[in-house]
Amino acid sequence: MILQALNDYYERLRADPDQEVSDFGFSYEKLSFSLVLSEHGAVIQVRDLRRFEGRRVFPRPAVVPKLPKERSGKNAPSYFMWDKSKYVLGCELDNDGKEDYYKNQFYSFAEVHHEILDANKDVGAKALLSFIDQRIFGQIPEWATKDLLSTGFIAFELDGENGFLHERQEIKDSWQIYLRENQSEVRGQCLITGKKYCPIPRSHPQMKNVHGAQSSGAALVSFNAPAFGSYGKGISNLNAPASEQAAFAYTTALNTLLASGSRRKVQIGDATVVFWTDVPVAAEDFFGLAVGGKESEDQNMTKEIEQHLRAVVKGHYPHELGKRDTAFYVLGLSPNAARLSVRFWYVGTVGTMAENIGAHYKALSLQRSFENDPEYPRPWWLLKELAPQRDSRHIPPLLAGQFVRAIVHNQLYPRTLLTTVMGRIRADKQVNYLRACIIKAYLTRNARKEIAMGLDKENTDIGYRLGRLFAIVEYIQNDAVPGANATVRDRFFGAAAATPRRIFPVILKNAQHGLAKIRKEKPGWAVTLDKSLQDILASVEPQKGFPATMPLEKQGMFVLGYYHQRQDLYTKHEDKTEE
Amino acid sequence: MAQGVQLRVWGDYACFTRPEMKVERVSYDVMTPSAARGILEAIYWKPAIRWVIDRIHVMKPIRFDNVRRNEVESKIPIKGATGVNAAMKDGKTPLRLNVEDSRQQRAAMVLRDVEYIIEAHFEYTNGEDKNDGKHLEMFNRRASKGQCFHRPYLGCREFAAFFEPVQGQIPESLLSGERDLGWMLYDIDYQEDMAPIFFRPIMKNGIIDCRNHKAVAK
> What is the Cα–Cα distance from A155 to A81, expressed in whole angstroms?
6
pLDDT for res B48: 92
Q: Which of A266-280, B13-27, B167-181 has the lowest mean pLDDT?
A: A266-280
Terminal alpha carbon distance of chain B: 21
Residues of A in contact with B23 (CB under 8 A): 222-224, 228, 339
Average pLDDT over residues A74-93: 88
Task: Give the per-residue pLDDT at B39.
Answer: 96
Inter-chain residue contact B195 with A405, CB threshold 8 Å = no
pLDDT greater than 60 at residue B19: yes
Give the amino acid at A121: K
Q: What is the predicted pLDDT for the residue at A296?
A: 59
Residue A314 banded pLDDT, cuts 50, 70, 90: confident
- The number of beta carbons lying within 10 Å of the beta carbon of residue A258 is 21
Q: Nearest-CA neighbor of A32 among A163, A148, A164?
A: A148
Pick from A352, A275, A368, A277: which is nearest to A315 by CA? A352
Residue B108 backbone dihedrals phi, psi, to 5 degrees: -145, 140
For the cut 70, the answer to whether the pLDDT of residue A371 exceeds it is yes
Query: How do residues B29-58 score in pLDDT, each as one tens digit?
Result: 999 999 999 999 999 999 999 999 999 999
Report whether A409 contacts A356 (CB < 8 A): yes
Of B18, B66, B102, the CB nearest to A398: B66
Give the mean pLDDT of A14-31.
84
d(CA B200, CA A548): 58
For range A567-577, the mean pLDDT: 64
Q: For residue A226, what is the nearest residue in chain B, using CA coordinates? A: B74
Minimal CA separation from A336 to chain B, in Å: 7
CA distance A430 to A428: 6
- pLDDT at position A510: 86
Asked if A466 and A504 touch (Cβ cutoff 8 Å), the reply is: yes
To the nearest whole number, what is the mean pLDDT of chain A? Answer: 85
Rounded CA separation A403/A401 (Å):
5
To the nearest whole percent, how much of chain B has pLDDT over 70?
96
- Least confident among A190-194, A255-259, A294-298: A294-298
pLDDT band at A573 (very low <50, low <70, confident <90, very high): low
Question: Of A121, A41, A178, A4, which Cα lies nearest the Cα of B28?
Answer: A4
Beta carbons within 8 Å of A406's beta carbon, 6+ residues apart:
A360, A412, A413, A414
Does residue B141 carry a pLDDT above 70?
A: yes
CB interface of A with B, residues 183-202, below 8 Å: 188-189, 191-194
Does B156 lie at the interface with A, CB-CB under 8 angstroms?
Answer: no
Name which of A1, A242, A398 is nearest B68 (Cβ-Cβ): A398
- Give yes or no for a contact between A361 and A374, defined as CB atoms under 8 angstroms apart: no
* Rounded Cα gap, residues A244 and A248, in angstroms: 6
pLDDT computed for residue A297 by the predictor: 64
Q: Which residue of B has its CA nearest to A188?
A: B195
pLDDT of res. A146:
84
Burial letters A205-239, b for 16+ CB under 10 A, else e: bbbbbbeebeeebbbbbbbbbebbbbeebebbbbb
Q: Which of B73, B197, B198 faces A225 most closely, judged by CB atoms?
A: B73
The pLDDT value recorded for residue A320 is 80
The interface predicted TM-score (ipTM) is 0.87
Please, which residues have CB within 8 angstroms of residue A410's CB and are 6 or more apart in sequence?
A352, A355, A356, A359, A360
Query: 3-class SS at A165?
Result: helix
Contacts of B21 in chain A (CB under 8 A): 2, 220-221, 240, 342
**Which range has the top average pLDDT, A286-290, A326-330, A439-443?**
A439-443
Element at B5 (helix H, strand E): strand B4-14
Burial degree of A536 (CB within 10 A; 0-12, 13-18, 19+)? buried
Q: Residue range B111-131: average pLDDT?
A: 92
CB contact under 8 A, A188 and B196: yes
Residues in B touching A325 (Cβ below 8 Å):
none
Tell me: the pLDDT tens digits for B177-217? 898 888 999 998 888 888 899 999 999 999 999 887 654 44
Q: Kind and range of the H or E element at A490?
A: helix A488-498
How much is the pTM? Answer: 0.81
User: E strand or H helix at A171, and its extent?
Assistant: helix A169-181
Please count the residue pairs, one from chain A and one from chain B, whose beta carbons lie less than 8 angstroms apart. Answer: 104
> Which pLDDT tens digit goes with each residue over A337-355?
788 988 888 888 888 888 8
Give the chain A residue nearest B188 (alpha carbons). A231
Q: For residue A391, what pLDDT band results from cuts at 50, 70 and 90? A: confident
Q: For chain B, how many residues are written?
A: 218
